[in-house]
Amino acid sequence: MFDFLLKFQEFLANVREVVRWQDLVDILLVCVIVYRVLLLIRGTRAVQMLTGFGIMLIFYYLAERFKFHTLHTILVAFFNINSFILILVILFQDEIRKALTQVGRNPFFSTTNTIEEVAIIEEVCQSAAVLAQQRVGALIVLERETGLKNYIEAGTILDSRVTADLVVSIFHPSSPIHDGALIIRNSRISSAGCLLPISRDPGIHKELGTRHRAALGLTHETDAVVIVVSEERGEISLVHHGTITRDLDVNGLRHQLLDLLGLRKFEARYQEKMREKDEAASH
C-alpha cells in the first residue's frame, strides 16, 4: 500500500511537470465549446450534413489508403482549406447566425416574480383556447434568452400588460394587426403584427400552413417558444427548437409551457394565491 502511494505521488509529480494549468483550462474551454455546438445543432439538419461530411472523410481516407487516384484528387480539392471554409459557411449559415445571436442574452421574465410568470402563462393559455374555439389564427411568441428586437421593431409597438382579452382582440380578423405574430418580452406584450422568417426545411409536413412554417423558422434561429393556433382546424400547436407538438388542449399547453420555462414548481403557489383572491372577493 505504501509503495502504491509513493508511485501515485510520483505520477502526480510527473503530471505537474508535463501538464500546465493553462492546458487544463484550454481543455475545459474546448469541451464547453464542443458541448454548446452539439446543443446548438441538436435536432436540426446540421446533424445530417455533419454525417455527410463524416462519410466523405471516410472515403478520403480509403481513397488515400487504397490509391484511388481520381477519387483522391477530387476529395483533396474539396477539402482544400479555403474552399472547405467557404462551403461550411454556406451550408451552416443558419446555425452560425443562431450561434452569434446567443452572444446577447435576454431573460424572458427578467422583471417579474415567479407568481406573475405563471399568471402570464395562464393568460396565454386561456387566449389560445378561446382563439382555437373561435377558429381564429394566431402566432404568440415568448422571447427567452435570444433577443427578438429586430422582429419587435418591425411590428406595431404596444408595450401592454398580458391579458387573455387583449390577445384575443389583437388576433380578431377585424384588427389591423391580426396578420402577424404577437411577441411577449419581459412579461409584456411588446409588439404585434410582426413578420417572422419562414422555414425553408423541405421536410415540413405539407398540411402545415404559413403560421406553422413561420414558427418553425423562428425557433430554428432562436430559443423562442411559439404558440400557433390554426384557423382551419382550430388546433393549438407548440413550437420550440425547431420541433412542433400539435393538437394540444389548454391543459397540455399549460403543462408544456410551465416545463419549458422552468415554472412547474411555482404552479401550486399560483393556484393557492388565486384561491385566496377568490375567497377574499367572495367575502
Instruction: Report the CATH number that the domain containing residue 274 is assigned in CATH.
Output: 3.40.1700.10
Residues 120, 97 share a domain: no
In a domain, 107, yes or no: no
207 falls in which pLDDT band (50, 70, 90)?
Answer: confident
Residues 165, 97 share a domain: no
What integer is the mean pLDDT of 20-31? 85
Residues 37, 167 share a domain: no
For residue 165, the model assigns a pLDDT of: 96
Residue ending a domain, among 101, 122, 147, is 101
In a domain, 106, yes or no: no
In a domain, 261, yes or no: yes
Residues 123, 94 share a domain: no
In a domain, 43, yes or no: yes
Residues 272, 137 share a domain: yes
Contact 197, 150 (CB under 8 A): no
In a domain, 54, yes or no: yes
Residues 129, 35 share a domain: no
In a domain, 271, yes or no: yes
If you average pLDDT over each of 34-48, 71-85, 191-205, which comes out highest? 191-205
Residues 81, 133 share a domain: no
Residues 40, 146 share a domain: no
Residue ending a domain, among 67, 101, 135, is 101
Q: Per-residue pLDDT tens for 166-205? A: 999 999 999 999 999 999 998 899 999 999 999 887 778 8
Domain that holds residue 194: 114-279
Residue ending a domain, among 75, 101, 127, is 101
In a domain, 108, yes or no: no
Mean residue pLDDT across the chain? 84
109 falls in which pLDDT band (50, 70, 90)?
Answer: low
For residue 111, the model assigns a pLDDT of: 44
